[in-house]
Amino acid sequence: MVEVVPLSSKPLIYDIDYADLEHLIKDWQQPSFRTRQIWEGLYKNYWRSPEEFTNLPVSLRNQLANTFRFVSLEPIQVLHSSDRETTKTLFNLPDGKAIEAVLMKYEKRRTLCISTQSGCAMGCVFCATGQMGFKRNLTSGEIVEQVIYYANLLHKEGESVTNIVLMGMGEPFHNYEATMAAIDRLNHPFGMNLGARRFTISTVGLIPMIRRFAAEQRQINLAISLHAADDELRTSMLPVNKKYPLDELMAACRDYVAQTRRRITFEWALIQNVNDSVETARKLARLLEGLLCHVNVIPLNPTKKYTGKGSTRERAMAFKAELERNGIPCTIRIRRGIDIQAGCGQLAIQQDQNSPPNPLMI
Ligand code: SAH
Ligand code: SF4
């Protein structure tokens, strides 16, 4: 008789990679083609329980069920923006921590914004995730499962995920290995096969990890959250700047571009009368001079504990125009999901942890 393992001690199936599964299938003395069948079930058909693997013998299905958990994310709240183009889901993790992930529909794109940590240790003053503090790193499987959750929903509507941005809760380079392992798994040719270029990692500027990322020569897009062109202002908003000041950060960025020949995106949350003047744009242009890059400007989204306001459209346009006049390409990002707190930097758990979970709202 197969011993039933208590639920909590079972590993999550999305935490193992293809090679691990191959070994397991061999250990279980199953024919090797079962590995691919299981992988396709997970990453092409998005089956969410062992019972759905009807192409496997019942004994193998049971073995999977007794060995692995198939679900670790419990969706406890689903919010849709008023235009229904943006959906934010709040998930509970098995240990009671919570994360959020967002689906954005825009023309033919189906972009997911996913989390790499519950909370964040970086403490950027204008970011809701930073304001809640660090809870814990996610495992690679928990990062993967956010994608599978939405891929499964989209699959049922005949659609699929086209892009993934690691811009949800947390600092991906503060959880480097799990983040890369998750991308590799979603990248695997026998499964989702989502090309590296469809991923964008955004970092607050952890220099050693930028250098490591460059050395690994990955095709994943890199975005750097800059927000200020001098150390004093940047440190006041992004405490990490004390440890990794601008000149060292820019040197790492220049080395990255030289090594990979890939363009960097610099993110800039425009804050009225803080970092949105034409002079600041000029300073930024000097900082980025000659670098293969692009600036993504987004008017600051409101959060509870920061009083700064997003810039007006006029100031945003003038900022962009000044950058472009100095030869720096710039786009103003459209705000999405503001009405459901799903915009950049607005992801945080607002539920009272002691109150019962909200009913699922669809
Ligand atoms: N930790 C990573 C990725 C998650 S944050 C990082 O900081 O880059 C994703 C983006 O949202 C970052 O560029 C971040 O600076 C930005 N952001 C944070 N709070 C914001 C806010 N209130 N309004 C607009 N953008 C914000
Ligand atoms: Fe963390 Fe990014 Fe928010 Fe800063 S902006 S607190 S790094 S999630």
pLDDT at position 278 over 60? yes
Instruction: Give tens-digit pLDDT for 248-264.
Output: 999 999 999 999 999 99
Ligand of minimum distance to the alpha carbon of 303: 1
Instruction: Give tens-digit pLDDT for 123-137.
Output: 999 999 999 999 999
Q: Which of 140, 141, 147, 148 is nearest to 176 (CA)?
A: 140
**Once rounded to an integer, what is the mean pLDDT over residues 146-170?**
97
Ligand of minimum distance to the alpha carbon of 342: 1
CA distances from 290 to 275, 276, 331 (A): 22, 22, 18
Catalytic annotation present for 127: no
Whole-number pLDDT of residue 339? 76
pLDDT at position 1 over 70? no
Measured from the Cβ of residue 120, the count of other Cβ atoms closer than 10 Å reads 26
| Domains of the chain with CATH codes | 8-67 (1.10.150.530), 74-340 (3.20.20.70)
pLDDT at position 170 over 60? yes
Ligand 2 centroid to Cα of residue 171, in Å, is 6
Return d(Cα 361, Cα 63) in angstroms, integer. 35
Confidence of residue 4 (pLDDT cuts 50, 70, 90): low
Nearest CA to ligand 2 atom 8: 170
pLDDT at position 361 over 50? no
Q: Residues near ligand 2 with C-beta < 6 Å?
A: 120, 122-124, 127, 129-130, 170-171, 204, 225, 345
Return d(Cα 72, Cα 74) in angstroms, integer. 6
- Lookup: tokens for 296: 């993504």
Atom of ligand 2 nearest to the CA of 129: 3
Percent of the chain with pLDDT over 90: 88
Whole-number pLDDT of residue 9? 79
Whole-number pLDDT of residue 346? 81
Q: Which of 143, 216, 208 is nearest to 178 (CA)?
A: 143
- Lookup: tokens for 284: 């930024």
pLDDT at position 290 over 70? yes
Ligand 1 centroid to Cα of residue 208, in Å, is 20
Confidence of residue 352 (pLDDT cuts 50, 70, 90): very low
Instruction: Give tens-digit pLDDT for 7-65.
Output: 457 999 999 999 999 999 999 999 999 999 999 999 999 999 999 999 999 999 999 99
Taking the model in full, what pTM does it have? 0.94
Nearest CA to ligand 1 atom 4: 167
Whole-number pLDDT of residue 350? 60
Residue of 167, 200, 210 to test ligand 1 pocket, by largest number of atoms within 8 Å of CB: 167
pLDDT at position 362 over 90? no
Catalytic annotation present for 344: yes
Least confident of 110-119, 297-306, 348-357: 348-357
Ligand 2 centroid to Cα of residue 224, in Å, is 11
Confidence of residue 356 (pLDDT cuts 50, 70, 90): very low
Return d(Cα 148, Cα 314) in angstroms, integer. 40
**Once rounded to an integer, what is the mean pLDDT over residues 181-209?**
98
Helix axes 246-260, 207-215, angle to 10 degrees: 10
Q: Residues near ligand 1 with C-beta < 6 Å?
A: 126-127, 167, 171, 202-204, 225, 267, 269, 298, 300-301, 303, 344-345
**Once rounded to an integer, what is the mean pLDDT over residues 152-177?**
97
Instruction: Give tens-digit pLDDT for 51-110.
Output: 999 999 999 999 999 999 999 999 999 999 988 899 999 999 999 999 999 999 999 999
Whole-number pLDDT of residue 288? 98
Return d(Cα 161, Cα 147) in angstroms, integer. 8
Residue of 125, 165, 267 to test ligand 1 pocket, by largest number of atoms within 8 Å of CB: 267
Across the chain, mean pLDDT equals 93
Q: Which of 132, 99, 124, 92 is nearest to 113 (CA)?
A: 99
Q: Spot the catalytic one: 52, 85, 100, 232.
A: 100
pLDDT at position 111 over 90? yes
Residue of 114, 120, 126 to test ligand 2 pocket, by largest number of atoms within 8 Å of CB: 120
**Once rounded to an integer, what is the mean pLDDT over residues 219-240?**
98
